[in-house]
Amino acid sequence: MIGWFYIFIHEQGAIVMIRTTNFNAGPAALPLEVLQKAKDEFLDFNGAGMSVMELSHRSKEYDAVHQKAKALLKELMDIPDDYEVMFLQGGASLQFSMIPMNFLSKDKTAHFIMTGAWSEKALAEAKLFGNTSIIASSKEDTYSYIPEVPEIPLDGAYLHLTSNNTIFGTQWQKFPDAPIPVVADMSSDILSRKIDVSQFDIIYAGAQKNLGPSGVTVVIMKKDWLGKENEQVAKILKYSTHAKADSLYNTPPTFAIYMLSLVLEWLKEKGGLDAIEKRNREKAGILYNAIDESGGFYRGHAREDSRSNMNVTFTLKNDELTASFIAKAKEEKMSGLGGHRSVGGCRASIYNAVSVEDCEKLAAFMKKFREEN
C-alpha cells in the first residue's frame, strides 16, 4: 500500500511503516514518541474507559493533564512566579487583536518592529484600537534581516516584536532592552532555545510549530497586566477571565492541551532547553552549510547574522528548477519544502521534532540535486 505520508512494506513477514520526513511550517512535525503514546492512550486514557477527547474538562482525569502541562511549561521555560500561564484558543492571530483590545487605547501608542508578514498582521489589528508607530523595519530589503533597534520612546504602551519569522527565515539573536513593556509573538521558536522570560511582559505562541498540534495558544503574561485591561471588552476576550478560571472559563481544547503535555514531557526527557537548543543549532548548521557550499546554486534569503534555526529559506535560479527540486524531494519522502506562497522558493522548517538525521538526509539530497542540475 502506497500513501502520501508513509508507505507500508513487508520485512520478513512484518509490516513496517516508513514515515515521510516532515519539513512543513505548521502544522508541523510532532515527535514520533509522542504520537505513539497518544495512539496507545487514544481509546482508554489512564483507565478511564474513554479517550481523553471524551473526558469532561471538569473531571479530575483531565485536570491532571491540564496541571501537568502548566507545570512542565513553567519548569522548562523557568517562568517566574509573577507570570500567569494561559491556554487559549484562536491562534496567534486572535492575539494580534486581543492584546491591543485589552491594553491599547486612543491616547496610547504601541510601537512595532517590523520583520515580516506576522508583524504586519499584528500592526494592522493594533491600529484599530489606538495609535501605532514603526520604530524599525527591514521591509525595504524583503525582510531579509533583523533591524537595529533605535532608542525606544518612553511613553509607549508596549513594544511588539516577532521572535522568529517563518516566511523569510529570520530570527532575533538578541532581544532589545526596552524601557517599556515588551510583547513577543514566539509562535515559531518557543521552546527551541533558552530565553529570559522576565525580559517580556507578554509572550504568546500558537502551538502548531514546537508545542503540539493546532488548536491551543499559550499566553505567558505578567500578572500585574491583568489589572490594566480596558473595561469595554467582552468578558471572554479579557485575559483576567481566563486567568481566574485557570483557562477553564469555557471548554478548552482538551486534546490539544493533552498533546502539549506529551510534547513537554518528551522535551524534558530529551534534556530540556539546553539540549534542544544545541541540537537545533546543529540541524540548522547542516542545512546552511549545504547552501553556503553550493557555489550559488542555492541562495539563502536571510542575512547570515539573522538566520533562523527554525526556518531555513532559500531559492534556486528559476521557478522550473525550484518545482523540480520540490517534486524530487517528495519522491524521496520529504514533504513541505515549498516556500510560502507570498515569496516562493524553498523552505525547510526544522522545529524541535525534526531530527539531525532528517536534516542530514535533506542536505545529502541538496548536494545530489545540485550535482545533477
pLDDT digits (tens, 9 = 90+) for 72-121: 999 999 999 999 999 999 999 999 999 999 999 888 899 999 999 999 99
Q: Are residues 57 and 118 in the same domain?
A: yes
Q: Looking at residue 343, what is its pLDDT?
A: 87
Alpha-carbon distance of 174 to 347, in angstroms, equals 23
Percentage of the chain beyond pLDDT 70 is 95
CATH number at residue 155: 3.40.640.10
Q: Are residues 97 and 148 in the same domain?
A: yes
Q: Are residues 187 and 246 in the same domain?
A: yes
pTM of the model: 0.94
pLDDT reading at 10 higher than 70: no
CA atoms within 13 A on the CB side of 115: 25
Q: 118 catalytic, yes or no? A: yes
Alpha-carbon distance of 334 to 200, in angstroms, equals 37
Grid cell 500561564 is found at 85
Q: 172 catalytic, yes or no? A: no
Q: Are residues 90 and 233 in the same domain?
A: yes
Q: 141 catalytic, yes or no? A: no
Quote the domain boundaries for residue 179.
52-269
Q: Are residues 112 and 229 in the same domain?
A: yes
Helix H, strand E, coil C: the string for 141-171 is HCCCCCCCCCCCCCCCCEEEEECEECCCCEE
pLDDT reading at 11 higher than 60: no
Which alpha helices (DSSP H) does the chain contain, by range?
Answer: 32-41, 60-77, 91-103, 117-126, 239-244, 254-269, 272-292, 319-331, 356-372
77 in a structural domain = yes
Exactly one of 70, 172, 201, 209 is catalytic; name it: 209
Q: Looking at residue 15, what is its pLDDT?
A: 54
Q: Are residues 87 and 166 in the same domain?
A: yes
Q: Pick the last residue of a domain from 236, 269, 302.
A: 269
183 in a structural domain = yes
Q: Are residues 96 and 183 in the same domain?
A: yes
Q: Are residues 179 and 287 in the same domain?
A: no
Exactly one of 70, 185, 225, 358 is catalytic; name it: 185
Q: Are residues 121 and 228 in the same domain?
A: yes
Q: Are residues 258 and 318 in the same domain?
A: no
Alpha-carbon distance of 93 to 98, in angstroms, equals 9
Q: Are residues 264 and 316 in the same domain?
A: no
Residue 250's Cβ-count burial label (10 Å; 0-12, 13-18, 19+) is: exposed
Q: Looking at residue 127, what is its pLDDT?
A: 96
136 in a structural domain = yes
Residues 6+ apart with CB under 8 A from 146: 115, 138, 170, 171, 172, 173, 305, 306
143 in a structural domain = yes
Which cell numbers hold the place of 268? 524534558
Q: Looking at residue 25, what is its pLDDT?
A: 96
Query: Are 138 and 120 a contacting pair, CB within 8 Å?
Result: no
Q: How confident is the prediction for the chain on average, in pLDDT?
A: 94
CATH number at residue 360: 3.90.1150.10
CA atoms within 13 A on the CB side of 344: 11
Q: Cβ–Cβ contacts within 10 Å for residue 109, how many? A: 17
Q: What is the tally of structural domains in the chain?
A: 2
- Please report, as a single letter, which amino acid is at residue 118: W
349 in a structural domain = yes
182 in a structural domain = yes
Q: Pick the last residue of a domain from 221, 250, 269.
A: 269
Query: Are 50 and 169 a contacting pair, CB within 8 Å?
Result: no
Q: Pick the last residue of a domain from 269, 290, 316.
A: 269
Exactly one of 70, 118, 189, 358 is catalytic; name it: 118
Q: Looking at residue 1, what is its pLDDT?
A: 30
Which cell numbers hold the place of 119? 508583524
Q: Are residues 313 and 179 in the same domain?
A: no
